[in-house]
A = this chain, B = another copy of it.
């Protein structure tokens, strides 16, 4: 489980509504993107004030560094967030959720990325206000670059639509990235499947299978709650979400369904794979044992015959015949050959 690097918060036991964070080296940063059909403005700051939000623009305020509890608190007070919302934002153990308040809608979910071979998970909270979106991240780097490009280059409809469409675009970017994660996982799975079916497995196959299984359990835990969240989000009756955006949110919901299907297929495939692997392994071992036992069985009667003519009885007439030794050796050969043929026929060799 060390794979899924996540800094454990120690919320437990604190006064409810109390904020707490882990001091990391990174400095909290505020990125501001403001746009309308005509202009785009970008700023960066470290201090939040309400005056950052400009009317006549769609404001996207992206805050990196939720360990800076003071900053989160200031933002919360400025735009009137509920104390429990602030707690959820800073609690990196929070499971995905969506909540509506009178003045805002908050969605919390996890961005996934591959760091080398490991899936890394980072919590993002997205708050939709009237003409403003505020996103809170744990650390630098996110899935939002395609959205930034679309805003800059005025691609598609993003500059023509409201804050709710931007909200959708950001959520969609996160969900789209799950497909990348899943695709990589599936590629490993299919390569392994070919090896397993061809019985060409190495000593670490079991561990790889277990790791894939844990990855899928983790993906499932990350994505499952989103089914309820998006199944509900496009049905929400709120002045913050236009009817047109509902179509787009329903499309994300659709993608979640597809992700869940693919996770289920991967689980099934993995479980089959484990069955074949264990069956192959056990069969291989048994075949070895059988081969060795057949070898022993061939020699056992021969050794017995040699033992008989090694006995020291005075009166064993055969011992005196010249033909006896080659005859016995020939007999042994016959016995061995008959056994070999018999075992070959039975497919025991």
Contact = CB atoms under 8 A, between A and B. Distances in A.
A293 to B, nearest CB: 5
A341 interface: no
Interface in A5-57: 8, 11-18
Interface stretch (A59-67, A69-77, A116-124, A296-304): A296-304
Given A17-B156, A293-B292, A278 B279 contact: yes
Interface in A276-292: 276, 278-279, 281-283, 285-290, 292
A157 interface: yes
**Copies per complex?**
5
Give the contact-size bracket for chain A: 35 or more
Interface string A144-159: 0010001000011110
Interface of A: 1-2, 8, 11-18, 82, 84, 87-88, 93-95, 97, 99, 146, 150, 155-158, 168-169, 172-173, 176-177, 179-180, 183, 190, 193, 197, 206-207, 210, 213-214, 217, 221, 225, 247-248, 250-251, 254, 257-258, 261, 265, 268-269, 272, 274-276, 278-279, 281-283, 285-290, 292-297, 299-304, 306-316, 318-322, 324-325, 328-329, 346, 348
